[in-house]
Structure 1
Amino acid sequence: MRTRARRPTVRGVVVAALAATALTLAPAAPAAAHNTLQSSTPTRDARLTTAPAQITLRFRQPLNPAFTTIVLSDAGQRRVATGEPAVTGPDGSITVDQPLGNGTYTVAYRVVSADGHPVQGAYQFTVADPSAPEPTDAAPPP
């Protein structure tokens, strides 16, 4: 008895394509649980004419205050005095305790995702206030 080879139908091809797409996307699902930075004030690479009094980071998921760290550093990698991070839902913010002089600053953060994985990152912004003195990189006298 001979069997005839069947030609693929349009329906069969569509079902196979959908199944292949679903399998391709399935491994990406666990990564979706990781928290990500959505926006910030000041923004990445901003050039400000007035120094900020507060830094605010908005994430994709709500933050846990116990596992949220936000640090501000100057161009010499010295920590700038700030308040403790305040957390409201997906927003984390710090207040800057002293006026910032002209220069480049780095905001570094570390938060924990809903799946328990730590997420960290950093970005820079520059203060270029025309009325402020230029920063000095010299260390203060002992």
Structure 2
Amino acid sequence: MIRALIASLMLALTATLAFAHSENQGTTPADGATVTEVPELSMRFDDPMLIITVTLTSPDGTVDIERETGMEPGLEFRAAPATPLAPGNYTFGWRGMASDGHPMQGSFSFTVTD
């Protein structure tokens, strides 16, 4: 009886921890995409995420972006390049805080062509 109770508690704890963090549900542009223009950079999450810092980099260095989403937790984050992006490879990196308080980070990459 005690073993069954302990096993049930362990299973419940494991299931709770498995769903503790927000998951990225998609990006614009999609990770690995090849596009001709990038009017918007966005990420969607399944649980509110506070995005603290973002960077857009190319082989030439950091690219200026304008944050369109405020500093409150949300299901979506949006930003835009300050100027049109030249052809090349780009990586969008982010750091944030999940609604459960855990720090999160990630990135996605895309290529701009003529």
Instruction: Please say whether Structure 1 and Structure 2 have the same fold, judged by a TM-score greater than 0.5.
Output: yes
Correspondence for 2:52: 68
- In structure 2, relative to structure 1, the CA distance for the partners of 1:46 and 1:26 (3 Å cut) is same
How far residue 112 of structure 1 moved from its aligned partner, in angstroms, is 0.4
Correspondence for 1:59: 45
Match for 2:107: what amino acid? A
Runs of 4+ with deviation above 2 angstroms:
19-26, 67-70
> Which of 127, 132, 135 is matched with 2:112 structurally?
127
Structure 1 unmatched runs, 5+: 1-15, 130-142
Alpha-carbon distance in 1 for matches of 2:14, 2:78: 33
Rg larger in structure: 1
Whether 1:89 and 2:78 are equivalent positions in the alignment is no
SS where residue 13 of structure 2 aligns?
A: helix
Alpha-carbon distance in 1 for matches of 2:23, 2:68: 17
How far residue 107 of structure 1 moved from its aligned partner, in angstroms, is 0.7
Correspondence for 1:43: 30
TM value normalised by structure 2: 0.80
Alpha-carbon distance in 2 for matches of 1:82, 1:58: 18
The count of residues paired between Structure 1 and Structure 2 equals: 108
How far residue 122 of structure 1 moved from its aligned partner, in angstroms, is 0.9
* Larger strand share, 1 or 2: 2
Whether 1:111 and 2:96 are equivalent positions in the alignment is yes
SS where residue 29 of structure 1 aligns?
A: helix
Structure 2 unmatched runs, 5+: none
Percent identity between matched residues is 31
Contact residue 59 and residue 90 of structure 1 kept, 8 A: yes
Range that drifts further, 105-114 or 21-30: 21-30
TM value normalised by structure 1: 0.66
